[in-house]
Structure 1
Amino acid sequence: MTSKSDKTTKSSKTNKSTKTNKTKHKPYQPWIDKYPEGIDFFAEIDTTPVPERVDKAVKEHATRVAMDFLGAETTYAEMGDQIERMAGALQKELGLKKGNRVALLLPNTPFFPVIYYAALKIGATIVNCNPLYTHSELMHILKNSNPDILVTTDLKLTLEKAEKLMQEGVAKKLLVSHFPNALPGIKKVLFKIFKAKDLAKLSDEKVKANYLDWQALLDNNLQADPVKIDKDDMAVLQFTGGTTGTPKAAVLTHGNIAANLSQIDLWGVDLFRPGATLAAVIPFFHIFAMTVCMNTPLTSGVKVAMLPRYERKSLLEMIHRTKATILPAVPTLSHALATAPERNKYDLSSLKIGISGGAALPNETKQAFAKATGGRIAEGYGLTETSPVLCCAPLYAPNKDNSIGMPLPGTDIQFVDVEDPTKFVGPGERGELVAKGPQVMPGYLDNDDANKESFIDGYFRTGDVGYVDEDGHLYIVDRIKDIIICSGFNVYPRAIEDALYHHDEVDECNVIGVEDEYRGEAPIAFVKRVEGSNLGEEELREHLKKYLSKIEMPREIIFKSELPKTLVGKLSKNDLREEYAKLKKS
């Protein structure tokens, strides 16, 4: 663990592997000649740090609405003023300097962008924390990131966790915002009357002694002194794998984050422009939302309409009310929205583009989204370590079924042998996807072993198996760790899931591999039927015979009313593995 005195804003502690590919490899990049019209793969990538770009957006779009929170609107000028005053308070009241770390334990509220940009403005590093994580998961993140200040709001869900964390000495100071202050006038009053039980107060006297009030800091009206920020300075520590193993801290530099929002803007052509409204329902602490729902729109003069948490009715109402034009979401959320029984009560026709990430996008969801909104949904692909977007389906041109699209400008994607990553596989062959680009992290914090394993010949290893076709469209077959070895053959859960989704009465599905005495491993399918369906196993197996070989056929099909999901709404294989193991023991 890094001590306070050991902190660095540079990425010097994240050394990429020195492994090299002994066989000379000529990159295969068929997408270059097939790139969507109006987009240049070789376009210059802007790595101007995000705080500077936010300042520019504030000046250029001062009177436009930057944030809409349940009807409470904040203009760009108002947001910029709050950022400046908070940056001044962090610097001059708290004594934070370049390289100090600020941990955020916040849901989606206007407080989040303000503290995020204020901290980056003075050269501090953001540590994103999921408020729904357990105490032990949060302790792991905070002990390994060593923040100087923990920022939260006084919702019971977050403040009680924050107080317990502070009791264990995770930070010097606790900064707390008053949640009702983010609400519009009448909702603020009603919240205090009818939902006061959702708020909490600190009880520990030692924690109270280190408490700071958000509004009080703003009211000091302090201005921050300028800080020179380099593109190689550390901007964000984003932890990965919180529910599937020990989380690692990916070091994302100012250059990484700025490059990715620039690449997304280039790919979107005129998507992120003043007049557009983005519906932000996935949480900002998640890398997908941080970049696509917050940084990209708020540096472009776009309005961000946000919800503190996902509720289907609330999202439908927000889209209807704000006339949202862009919806980034995980596939399960897009599917739920597009197939909601009450969707016809709301006008969703303003939605022009859905951006899907976090998991494979079923074709059925693409079709349902188009039918419900008149717009189109494009699948993107990326990882925490790549800030996160590496590629995306064309937004304004035909894209191929099951493809994750093409690499974003300036991104080189290749495929290497799964067993021997020093060998590149040929065009069209399946291999592990590896990537280079300005959005790729320099490495994990203080984790030489992980860095040696994660980079090969300068490429970041994603752990995903896929291939590229002759037109430059990329495909992901599955995660390496999820591949099921049946009688010596590779079986890909995603292929089985795709086959299941071809049945009209399958609403959601997830496939895992389990031990099998005869085959070594065997696939198990979990299925949620559409509402009102009586679909049975025999009928579903007959359907699967049209798409799957005998080896791919699930050993069991288990019907469930709901399938477990991760904290950001992705279907969770890990939970199903644990559930199945318990089922077999009982």
Structure 2
Amino acid sequence: MTKQTEHKPYQPWVEHYPDNIDYYAEIDTTPVPARIDQAVKDHASRVALDFLGAETTYAELGDQIERMAGALQKELGIKKGDRIALLLPNTPFFPVMYYAALKVGASIVNCNPLYTHSELVHILKNSDADILVTTDLKLTLEKAEKLMQEGMADKLIVSHFPNALPTLKKFLFKIFKGKDLASLTDEKIKQKHLNWHDLLEKNLNADPVQIDKDDMAVLQFTGGTTGMPKAAVLTHGNIAANLTQIDLWGVDLFRPGATLAAVLPFFHIFAMTVCMNTPLTSGVKVAMLPRYERKSLLEMINRTKVSILPAVPTLSHALATAPEREKYDLSSLKIGISGGAALPNETKIAFAKATGGRIAEGYGLTETSPVLCCSPLYAPNKDNSIGMPLPGTDVQFVDVEDPTKFVGPGERGELVAKGPQVMPGYLDNDEANKESFINGYFRTGDVGYVDEEGHIYIVDRIKDIIICSGFNVYPRTIEDALYHHDDVDECNVIGVEDEYRGEAPIAFVKRVEGSNLTEEELNDFIKKYLSKIEMPREIIFKSELPKTLVGKLSKNELRDEYEKLKKN
């Protein structure tokens, strides 16, 4: 198959697009603050947020947003272009501050509360945040105080975590979990500290601010493919476009009456867009958990009748295979949306069996706000496919060695993307911007191809490809083979140095509880799925596999672990 000498967009999905979805539909880029205001008007009496049983209506949410926006403007002097960092777990405080900040023209800087101090310093120093917002949980407040001591922000806003709870739980929390709360100890920081409740009690209204689609809305830090975390500039237009695209793809999924489970953390781009912005601009109820706990999630699904569950594959797998799942009614679950990592077919099957619903795999990156592609929600899915590009999104493939050349239909290459959800670039990083865009397309760093019906397949990350005796070996291919075995619960494959082949695959496997599966038995099983060159040099069984802070299986930690094992 010859390579394309000039780019002529190959878009086979157009002729095979799902019914009732227009690939060429107009993409609304009305900024999120205006959409939230409209949702508050249209759904005032509906429940917007459920936090462990404490409900907030759309009218109440809108009132809190307005009062916090007024306080930001008139008490703290926040103006268009300022930056507000959020160091918060999933609580009602998060969306209130997020939307209040955007309403007055400020930009959000999302911070992971589980990051180390040095990682948070990097984010705050590079974002030049004016205000840091946190809650008085010990996990977050102690980190926030230390950051303030180092001058990482001018002011600190602290919410009282128990205030987010239902009355009885608030009372019980203070009695039995009071040790999880903290207070500021530094007198100088106390002077820079403002109480969340006091700010709302000012009852101030915000003055209107003109928000344009090209204005920066969010600074989202990402590690990308290499190097230190970079700050992706996501505009109001980027974020709004992706909400529109997701809503078009979902047809009637995000509509009043639906309930979405927000167990993924809002500070992550997937959750920010799919678990918070999309449902709350559509009149959907968002049921939140401050962190993932399997039992808590099962109880919440049973109690609130969750119909939409966005999750990473490991979470969906844990839910679908939970030994206690039959104690709970999961029949309300209609759609699972999987993102963040490759979705094993076995997880799709287990989810359908446990819930009666179906799970669709999506694909995207921080730099694309994030969703580029998704499997059809109401039509047959192809195994191992990430689906088709969302409306208004162009996905193409370029030569891995020479990204200036587009590869032909069906050929493997690096996925590049163009669309209204793609960021304009990284903040103050000309070198990264030059490397990240080619021919007007954003380079994802993922290798894949498109079939004749327009279904997109991701083979692996470029950096994860294993070169064995000159041949490309893809970890995902080996992982798919391992997942075919009923006794494999989780698996992850990395490449390591090999004297004979240059590199060789090593598989790490977590067995199903109670299994005594051996390396010899598993090797014999996967031989029918893999070529000789793809067979792992070694299979290492572990009781748990390391995961990232949002629950994705982590190859980096396994690489570090293997290096330490080799040295010992």
Counterparts of residues 357-368 of structure 1 (less than 5 Å):
357-368=339-350
* Structure 1 CA distance for aligned equivalents of residues 449 and 260 of structure 2: 32
Counterparts of residues 316-465 of structure 1 (less than 5 Å):
316-465=298-447
Question: Residue 178 of structure 2 aligns with which residue?
Answer: 196
Letter in 1 for 2:55: E
CA drift at 1:24 = 2.5
Q: Secondary structure at the match of 1:510?
A: strand
8 A contact 1:106–1:112 mirrored in 2:
yes
Question: Residue 573 of structure 1 aligns with which residue?
Answer: 555
* Structure 2 CA distance for aligned equivalents of residues 149 and 509 of structure 1: 41
* Structure 1 CA distance for aligned equivalents of residues 543 and 209 of structure 2: 54
8 A contact 1:103–1:151 mirrored in 2:
yes
Cα deviation, 1:150-179, whole Å, max 9, x if unaligned, reads: 000000000000000000000000000000
Question: Residue 512 of structure 2 aligns with which residue?
Answer: 530
Which of 501, 522, 526 is the equivalent residue of 2:483? 501
Question: Residue 150 of structure 2 aligns with which residue?
Answer: 168
Q: TM-score of the superposition, structure 2-length normalised?
A: 0.99
CA drift at 1:442 = 0.1
Which of 98, 110, 121 is the equivalent residue of 1:139? 121
8 A contact 1:137–1:242 mirrored in 2:
no
Question: Residue 182 of structure 1 aligns with which residue?
Answer: 164
Are residues 1:267 and 2:249 paired? yes
Cα deviation, 1:242-283, whole Å, max 9, x if unaligned, reads: 897410000000000000010000000000000000000000
Question: Residue 299 of structure 1 aligns with which residue?
Answer: 281
Letter in 2 for 1:207: I
* Structure 1 CA distance for aligned equivalents of residues 401 and 294 of structure 2: 43
* Structure 1 CA distance for aligned equivalents of residues 114 and 385 of structure 2: 32
Task: Give the aligned CA root-mean-square deviation in angstroms.
Answer: 1.0
**Bigger RCO of structures 1 and 2 (CA < 8 A, at least 6 apart):** 1
* Structure 2 CA distance for aligned equivalents of residues 539 and 354 of structure 1: 33
* Structure 2 CA distance for aligned equivalents of residues 583 and 160 of structure 1: 35
Question: Residue 118 of structure 1 aligns with which residue?
Answer: 100
Cα deviation, 1:549-579, whole Å, max 9, x if unaligned, reads: 1111001100000000000000000000000
Letter in 1 for 2:498: D
Cα deviation, 1:20-44, whole Å, max 9, x if unaligned, reads: x994211000000000000000001
Which of 266, 284, 297 is the equivalent residue of 1:315? 297
8 A contact 2:87–2:132 mirrored in 1:
yes
* Structure 2 CA distance for aligned equivalents of residues 578 and 108 of structure 1: 31
Which of 201, 226, 235 is the equivalent residue of 1:253? 235
* Structure 2 CA distance for aligned equivalents of residues 243 and 77 of structure 1: 42
CA drift at 1:109 = 0.2
Cα deviation, 1:340-370, whole Å, max 9, x if unaligned, reads: 0000000000000000000000000000000
Q: Secondary structure at the match of 2:385?
A: coil
Q: Secondary structure at the match of 2:467?
A: strand
8 A contact 1:434–1:461 mirrored in 2:
yes
Cα deviation, 1:428-470, whole Å, max 9, x if unaligned, reads: 0000000000000000000000000000010000000000000
Cα 1:350–1:412 change in 2 (3 A) is: same
Question: Residue 37 of structure 1 aligns with which residue?
Answer: 19
Question: Residue 535 of structure 2 aligns with which residue?
Answer: 553
Letter in 2 for 1:345: K
Q: Secondary structure at the match of 2:448?
A: strand
8 A contact 2:467–2:504 mirrored in 1:
yes
Q: Secondary structure at the match of 1:336?
A: helix
| Higher mean displacement: 199-208 or 239-248 | 239-248
Are residues 1:86 and 2:68 paired? yes
Are residues 1:238 and 2:220 paired? yes
Cα deviation, 1:309-355, whole Å, max 9, x if unaligned, reads: 00000000000000000000000000000000000000000000000
* Structure 2 CA distance for aligned equivalents of residues 242 and 320 of structure 1: 37
Q: TM-score of the superposition, structure 1-length normalised?
A: 0.96
8 A contact 1:58–1:80 mirrored in 2:
yes
Letter in 2 for 1:131: P
Question: Residue 62 of structure 1 aligns with which residue?
Answer: 44
Q: Secondary structure at the match of 2:153?
A: coil
Q: Secondary structure at the match of 2:98?
A: helix
* Structure 1 CA distance for aligned equivalents of residues 141 and 261 of structure 2: 26
8 A contact 1:405–1:473 mirrored in 2:
yes
* Structure 2 CA distance for aligned equivalents of residues 204 and 242 of structure 1: 36
Cα deviation, 1:193-252, whole Å, max 9, x if unaligned, reads: 111000000001111110000000000000000000000000000000189741000000
Letter in 1 for 2:430: D
* Structure 2 CA distance for aligned equivalents of residues 24 and 471 of structure 1: 22
Which of 34, 52, 57 is the equivalent residue of 2:34? 52
Letter in 2 for 1:166: M
Letter in 2 for 1:137: E
8 A contact 1:22–1:422 mirrored in 2:
no
* Structure 2 CA distance for aligned equivalents of residues 24 and 192 of structure 1: 66
Letter in 2 for 1:405: G
Are residues 1:210 and 2:192 paired? yes
Q: Secondary structure at the match of 1:551?
A: helix
CA drift at 1:544 = 1.1
8 A contact 2:21–2:248 mirrored in 1:
yes
Q: Secondary structure at the match of 2:534?
A: coil
Counterparts of residues 99-110 of structure 1 (less than 5 Å):
99-110=81-92
Runs of 4+ in 1 over 2 A off after TM superposition: 21-24, 242-245
8 A contact 2:221–2:232 mirrored in 1:
yes
Question: Residue 280 of structure 1 aligns with which residue?
Answer: 262
Counterparts of residues 479-490 of structure 1 (less than 5 Å):
479-490=461-472
8 A contact 2:49–2:55 mirrored in 1:
yes
Cα 1:535–1:22 change in 2 (3 A) is: closer
What 5-or-longer segments of structure 1 have no aligned partner? 1-20
Sequence identity (%)? 87
Q: Secondary structure at the match of 1:405?
A: strand
8 A contact 2:4–2:406 mirrored in 1:
no
8 A contact 1:101–1:125 mirrored in 2:
yes
* Structure 2 CA distance for aligned equivalents of residues 50 and 103 of structure 1: 18
Cα 1:516–1:271 change in 2 (3 A) is: same
Letter in 2 for 1:197: K
* Structure 1 CA distance for aligned equivalents of residues 107 and 241 of structure 2: 17
Question: Residue 17 of structure 1 aligns with which residue?
Answer: none
Are residues 1:477 and 2:459 paired? yes
* Structure 2 CA distance for aligned equivalents of residues 211 and 185 of structure 1: 26
